[in-house]
Amino acid sequence: MTASLRIGLIGTGRIGQVHAANIAASPDAVLSRVADPFLEGAVRVAEAFGGRATADADDVFAADDVDAVLIASPTPTHVDLIEKAVDRGIPVLCEKPIDLDIARVEALRPKVASAGVPVALGFNRRFDPAFAEVRARVSDGEIGALEQLTIISRDPAAPPADYVAVSGGIFRDMTIHDFDMARYFLPDIVEVSAVGTTTFDAGAREHGDFDTAVVTLRAASGAIVTIINSRHSAVGYDQRIEAFGGAGSLQVANRSTSLVSVSSAASVEARSPYEDFFLQRYAEAYAAELQSFISLARGGASASSTFEDGRAALILADAAQRSATEGVAVAVDLG
């Protein structure tokens, strides 16, 4: 029997707490260290899910009871923390994105490539059972060659204006998940076209961001990906995919919060709203993502997305930003 993987967690915000709970619940891992400059948060997570709290992330890297690191701190810290993990030979799972600046990503890239230390990126949706099922069935040829992939991805509500100010824009903070999902099916994207507008969100307008966007990606195979985004959605978190091929199509529906439907004189078969947001909708995905990282950290097989996937998603986001701004299709080379 293998000993539990001892994981050090850096960052105890909303997503850090999800990871902490999943580590505690996993039969294959324990939480050994919890770091957050906001020490009170670290202490609270450690009390609930195990491990020793610290305000200093360096304590995690210096500890002798850390087999792997999970980075859930703010984006600007990611590159440095990944580098420290790689330098120390500690497998790392880092939340997306690697950084908002592709130059910093490119600067770190050679070290990651040569170090041989597992670096996984937190694109949780790859681990959603429904998306994974569709990908597997597409790979099995059930719908013939994949010709069109349509991703509808709408958040329930626009983020606060001060988040918009530093998020890097809709393509880098929100669509980046969809870019990775596109590449989950079609890794070799060669061209990006995007259109963005601002129709309802004052925060987006203030900071020059879009609240509404559509991106099309051309894959080397000729397949076209369409990503439809909105910063709000009255029905709840709207997360749908349609994979279309010559022999048919596979669709992932939204998950209703209930199996109940109601019929009345006004309307029939009306169902309950969809799951609120990502913590609910992707709860299973976060747990599966952790298990995949545990396997990766131990040198086993893994479906985790990689540093290269994180870089590719950012390149696509940059290209989309340029396309939407300049009105040109932007060729990309993800090689």
Contact residues toward its own copies (CB under 8 A) are: 129-130, 133-134, 137, 142-145, 147-148, 150, 152, 154, 191, 193, 195, 197-200, 212-214, 216, 218, 221-224, 226, 228, 230, 232, 234-236, 244, 246-256, 258-274, 327-329
Q: How far is the CB of 324 from its own copies (least distance, A)?
A: 9
Name the token pair of 198: 């601002």
Q: How far is the CB of 142 from its own copies (least distance, A)?
A: 7
* Residue 312, H or E segment: helix 307-326
Nearer to its own copies, 62 or 199 (CB): 199
Instruction: Give the three-state DSSP class for 315.
Output: helix
- Whole-angstrom distance, CA of residue 65 vs CA of residue 30: 10
Pick from 142, 168, 226, 163: nearest CA to 192 = 226
Please name the residue that has the structure tokens 């998020």.
167
Pick from 171, 178, 130, 134: nearest CA to 152 = 178
Q: How far is the CB of 57 from its own copies (least distance, A)?
A: 30
Q: How far is the CB of 13 from its own copies (least distance, A)?
A: 23
- Whole-angstrom distance, CA of residue 302 vs CA of residue 306: 10
Nearer to its own copies, 65 or 148 (CB): 148
Nearer to its own copies, 146 or 294 (CB): 146
Q: How far is the CB of 204 from its own copies (least distance, A)?
A: 11
Pick from 180, 134, 176, 174: nearest CA to 157 = 174
As beta bridge partners, residue 120 has 93, 306
Contact between 235 and 274 under an 8 Å Cβ cutoff? The reply is: yes
Q: How far is the CB of 317 from its own copies (least distance, A)?
A: 18
Q: How far is the CB of 152 from its own copies (least distance, A)?
A: 8
Nearer to its own copies, 44 or 109 (CB): 44
Q: How far is the CB of 221 from its own copies (least distance, A)?
A: 7
Nearer to its own copies, 26 or 150 (CB): 150
Nearer to its own copies, 17 or 254 (CB): 254
Nearer to its own copies, 15 or 227 (CB): 227
Burial of residue 28 (CB within 10 Å: 0-12, 13-18, 19+) is middle
| Crossing angle between the packed helical segments 14-25 and 283-297, to the nearest 10 degrees | 70
Contact between 140 and 237 under an 8 Å Cβ cutoff? The reply is: no
Residue 166 CA: distances (Å) to CA of 73, 99, 215, 298: 15, 12, 22, 36
Q: How far is the CB of 285 from its own copies (least distance, A)?
A: 12
Nearer to its own copies, 64 or 269 (CB): 269
| Crossing angle between the packed helical segments 102-115 and 307-326, to the nearest 10 degrees | 160
Nearer to its own copies, 237 or 307 (CB): 237
Contact between 170 and 214 under an 8 Å Cβ cutoff? The reply is: no
By DSSP bridging, strand 270-271 and strand 224-230 are unpaired
